[in-house]
């Protein structure tokens, strides 16, 4: 990217005085526009300063940035609390035309001292661009001191975040909830979590935790166990007689809102709508709540009795759930609008198993299943007491002698690990690539290997084989890995003449899911993609029909819990604006959050000067005999001592990023 000036990632690029065609590249990825109306001319943050072009005012920006550091300081350590306040005051003096050369020296030594002596990211990483501004823009400071220059009055939106927070689709303040656990303030921790997600238990048990892949502690020894600390905060509330939060705005507004689908996305959106005072009703076609987190993720990973208590909390906030109502059939856009619903959130997920595309698949051979269907049947059998409709009888689940599960994602993992628990002796994965390319969570793969699952790599299915009308096996072809495909993984190429039959009395297809969006026929203006997902605005989740919003898997395609919840929270914000008659648009902080994520808040190559401490505390798990013989929860949760020890490893890597938006005359 070309820019006028940059110190980003310690690389000085100074193109001042050169024509734009002679500008050297800078190692930063910044958007040129803040939104459709306003442009960005500069950015200041933990990684340095980037000036895209005129107009800019480094001294004014430094003053605003110093103020942002002050506001972001948690005030727990003296150098950061007092130092950032003094620094802001000195900047104010310079901006007010009352500064002198001594003030510049004072700022240099002050910010040097703050970064050396502070205990967390704001103080340690924050001052760097201020020191750089004093070094490379001395003339601009001197112009202020001599009275030649006056403040420009530009707008400087900023955002405090952290590498882990920035990687979390919900934007959760992770260092804060960890800090609160460390201090024993579990209610405060849960409150922080619930600001971003009402599903602390579900996420704390099954989130794929992108935060942990962006944890700076990993540059020192091993990432913090962020996900499981979240679970502790929820479990503590669940297991103790503590007062749960209430919703002071419950049903304070008249507007009814229809949320379609009671999965993580629908439930989360309904929760945030209820907190704004609206009256959300969730319409769910199944007799169970939780979407794929109920029907797909097995009982040994998320116990349903635990999930029911989590959902109870969401209901208490003012959310109504209606079961066994299929949208598009029992209710439609038209019928619900007639009943007074003022907006819709479509969160119907993707629950149709994709076909393997092999010969015989359309013949309804007994013993051939879609992964989604069989997991639902298994869950319904294992947890039948929790089904919300007593008339629903689960299908019996057959237990074969040998099962082949085609696929290597998380659905495949859940299928094989469930069949181990159901007592099947010969449980196999068939995958066309190698272990290295498997999309499943590596932890799940390790667990499945420990439980006895066999892996058959570089094999692709070609035909279902029958004998006397019954399933006898799966014909497969050997594969070799060719050059990478569009997914970046090496493409499997068939080895001619390598077909052979693997015997089996059950074959499960677990190679992905599709969305059923037939209910959209009624609203032709809503756009869809060729993958049969719904097109919605990336920030507000509004569709082309103003009162209809959509989020979760039905927008992203089958993905993960935390993205579904992240969509929901933002959609609820957009829906709130729509229902209050405001302009539907993301808040400036949200735009900054996205900008920082685009720049990349985490640097895997950064050398982090932090002494090693306790090693990461892994979550204790149940005995092997319990894993294989039952659907008992595998992960047991941290003890108080363990969670405090693990939380103490967090380095609170908070950072601040600020943009210069000259067109708006306001201040940050």
Ligand X SMILES: Cc1cc2nc3c(=O)[nH]c(=O)nc-3n(C[C@H](O)[C@H](O)[C@H](O)COP(=O)(O)OP(=O)(O)OC[C@H]3O[C@@H](n4cnc5c(N)ncnc54)[C@H](O)[C@@H]3O)c2cc1C
Which residues are at the interface with ligand X (CB under 6 A)? 206-208, 260-266, 283-286, 291-293, 296-297, 326-328, 347-349, 351, 372, 375, 410-411, 414, 516, 519, 552-553, 558-562, 564
Question: H-helix or E-strand containing 231?
Answer: helix 226-239
For the bound state, the minimum distance from the C-beta of residue 585 to ligand X, rounded and expressed in Å, comes to 23
Structure tokens at 95: 């901006």
Residues 6 or more apart whose Cβ sits within 8 Å of residue 140 = 57, 58, 59, 149
In the 8-state DSSP scheme, what is residue 2?
Answer: B
- Pairing label, strands 548-550, 341-346: parallel
Nearer to ligand X, 7 or 563 (CB): 563
Structure tokens at 66: 């110093």
Nearer to ligand X, 121 or 204 (CB): 204
CB 316 within 8 A of CB 336: no
Nearer to ligand X, 263 or 574 (CB): 263
Structure tokens at 662: 């000259």
Nearer to ligand X, 206 or 659 (CB): 206
Question: H-helix or E-strand containing 320?
Answer: strand 320-322
Identify how many contiguous H helices and E strands the chain contains and give both numbers: 23, 22
Q: Rounded distance, CA 473 to CA 333, Å? A: 45
For the bound state, the minimum distance from the C-beta of residue 416 to ligand X, rounded and expressed in Å, comes to 11
Nearer to ligand X, 114 or 293 (CB): 293
For the bound state, the minimum distance from the C-beta of residue 415 to ligand X, rounded and expressed in Å, comes to 8
Q: Rounded distance, CA 658 to CA 41, Å? A: 11
Structure tokens at 482: 């060719």
For the bound state, the minimum distance from the C-beta of residue 401 to ligand X, rounded and expressed in Å, comes to 23
Torsional class of 407: left (φ above 0), alpha (ψ -120 to 50), beta (otherwise)? left
* Collapsed DSSP state (helix, strand, coil) of residue 489: coil
Torsional class of 450: left (φ above 0), alpha (ψ -120 to 50), beta (otherwise)? alpha
For the bound state, the minimum distance from the C-beta of residue 460 to ligand X, rounded and expressed in Å, comes to 21
Cα distance from N-terminal residue to C-terminal residue, the chain: 26
Nearer to ligand X, 283 or 380 (CB): 283
For the bound state, the minimum distance from the C-beta of residue 263 to ligand X, rounded and expressed in Å, comes to 2
For the bound state, the minimum distance from the C-beta of residue 311 to ligand X, rounded and expressed in Å, comes to 12
Nearer to ligand X, 427 or 668 (CB): 427
Nearer to ligand X, 375 or 430 (CB): 375
Q: What are phi and psi of 353, to 5 degrees?
A: -65, 135
Nearer to ligand X, 283 or 341 (CB): 283
For the bound state, the minimum distance from the C-beta of residue 282 to ligand X, rounded and expressed in Å, comes to 9
For the bound state, the minimum distance from the C-beta of residue 618 to ligand X, rounded and expressed in Å, comes to 18
For the bound state, the minimum distance from the C-beta of residue 350 to ligand X, rounded and expressed in Å, comes to 6
For the bound state, the minimum distance from the C-beta of residue 561 to ligand X, rounded and expressed in Å, comes to 3
For the bound state, the minimum distance from the C-beta of residue 395 to ligand X, rounded and expressed in Å, comes to 16
Q: Compute CA distances 514 → 348, 377, 440, 511, whole Å.
A: 11, 19, 18, 10
Q: Rounded distance, CA 551 to CA 536, Å? A: 8
Structure tokens at 541: 């989740």
Nearer to ligand X, 276 or 410 (CB): 410
Q: Compute CA distances 497 → 476, 478, 494, 504, whole Å.
A: 11, 9, 9, 21
Question: H-helix or E-strand containing 565?
Answer: helix 561-579
Nearer to ligand X, 375 or 650 (CB): 375
Nearer to ligand X, 263 or 576 (CB): 263
CB 537 within 8 A of CB 548: no
Q: Rounded distance, CA 35 to CA 172, Å? A: 23
Structure tokens at 438: 């498997």
* Collapsed DSSP state (helix, strand, coil) of residue 621: strand
């Amino acid at each position: 990217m070309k820019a006028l000036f940059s110190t980003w990632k310690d690389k000085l690029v100074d193109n001042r005085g050169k024509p734009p065609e002679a500008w050297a590249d800078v190692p930063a990825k910044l958007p040129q526009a803040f939104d459709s109306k306003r442009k960005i001319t500069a950015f200041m943050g933990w990684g340095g300063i980037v000036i895209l072009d005129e107009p800019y005012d480094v001294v004014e920006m430094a003053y605003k940035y110093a103020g942002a550091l002050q506001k972001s300081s948690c005030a727990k350590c003296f150098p950061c609390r007092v130092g950032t306040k003094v620094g802001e005051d000195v900047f104010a003096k310079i901006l007010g035309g009352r500064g002198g050369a001594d003030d510049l020296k004072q700022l240099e030594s002050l910010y040097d001292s703050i970064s050396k002596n502070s205990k967390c990211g704001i103080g340690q990483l924050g001052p760097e661009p201020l020191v750089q501004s004093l070094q490379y823009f001395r003339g601009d400071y001197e112009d202020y001191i001599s009275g030649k220059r006056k403040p420009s009055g530009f707008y400087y939106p900023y955002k405090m975040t952290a590498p882990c927070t920035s990687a979390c689709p919900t934007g959760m303040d992770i260092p804060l909830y960890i800090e609160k656990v460390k201090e024993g303030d579990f209610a405060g921790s849960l409150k922080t979590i619930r600001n971003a997600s009402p599903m602390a238990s579900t996420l704390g048990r099954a989130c794929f935790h992108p935060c942990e892949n962006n944890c700076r502690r990993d540059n020192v020894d091993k990432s913090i166990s962020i996900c499981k600390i979240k679970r502790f905060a929820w479990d503590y509330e669940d297991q103790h007689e503590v007062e749960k939060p209430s919703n002071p705005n419950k049903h304070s507004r008249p507007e009814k809102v229809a949320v379609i689908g009671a999965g993580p996305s629908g439930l989360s959106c309904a929760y945030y709508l209820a907190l704004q005072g609206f009256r959300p009703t969730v319409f769910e076609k199944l007799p169970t709540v939780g979407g794929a987190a109920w029907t797909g993720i097995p009982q040994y990973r998320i116990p349903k009795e635990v999930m029911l208590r989590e959902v109870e909390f969401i209901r208490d906030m003012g959310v109504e759930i209606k079961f066994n109502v299929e949208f598009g059939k029992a209710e439609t856009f038209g019928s619900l609008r007639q009943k007074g619903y003022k907006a819709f959130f479509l969160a119907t997920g993707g629950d149709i198993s994709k076909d393997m595309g092999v010969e015989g698949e359309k013949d309804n051979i007994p013993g051939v299943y879609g992964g989604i269907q069989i997991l639902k049947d298994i869950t319904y059998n294992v947890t039948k007491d929790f089904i919300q409709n007593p008339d629903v009888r689960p299908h019996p689940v057959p237990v074969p002698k040998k099962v082949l599960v085609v696929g290597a994602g998380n659905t495949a993992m859940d299928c094989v690990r469930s069949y181990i628990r159901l007592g099947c002796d010969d449980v196999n994965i068939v995958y066309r690539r190698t272990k290295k390319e498997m999309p499943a969570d590596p932890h799940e793969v390790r667990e499945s290997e420990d439980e006895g699952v066999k892996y058959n790599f570089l094999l692709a299915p070609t035909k279902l084989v029958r004998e006397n009308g019954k399933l006898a096996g799966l014909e497969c072809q050997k594969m070799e890995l060719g050059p990478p495909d569009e997914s970046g993984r090496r493409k499997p190429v068939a080895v001619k003449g390598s077909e052979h039959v693997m015997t089996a009395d059950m074959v499960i297809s677990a190679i992905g899911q599709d969305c059923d969006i037939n209910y959209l026929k009624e609203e032709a203006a809503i756009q869809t993609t060729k993958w049969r997902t719904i097109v919605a605005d990336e920030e507000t989740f509004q569709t082309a029909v103003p009162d209809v919003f959509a989020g979760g898997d039905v927008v992203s395609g089958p993905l993960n819990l935390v993205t579904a919840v992240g969509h929901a929270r933002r959609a609820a914000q957009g829906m709130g604006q729509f229902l209050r008659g405001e302009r539907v648009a993301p808040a400036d902080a949200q735009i900054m959050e996205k900008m920082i994520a685009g720049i990349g808040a985490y640097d895997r190559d950064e050398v982090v000067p932090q002494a090693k401490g306790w090693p990461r505390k892994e979550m204790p798990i149940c005995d092997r005999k319990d894993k294989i013989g039952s659907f008992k929860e595998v992960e047991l949760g941290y003890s108080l001592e363990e969670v405090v020890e693990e939380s103490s490893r967090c380095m609170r890597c908070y950072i601040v990023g600020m943009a210069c938006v000259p067109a708006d005359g306001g201040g940050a």
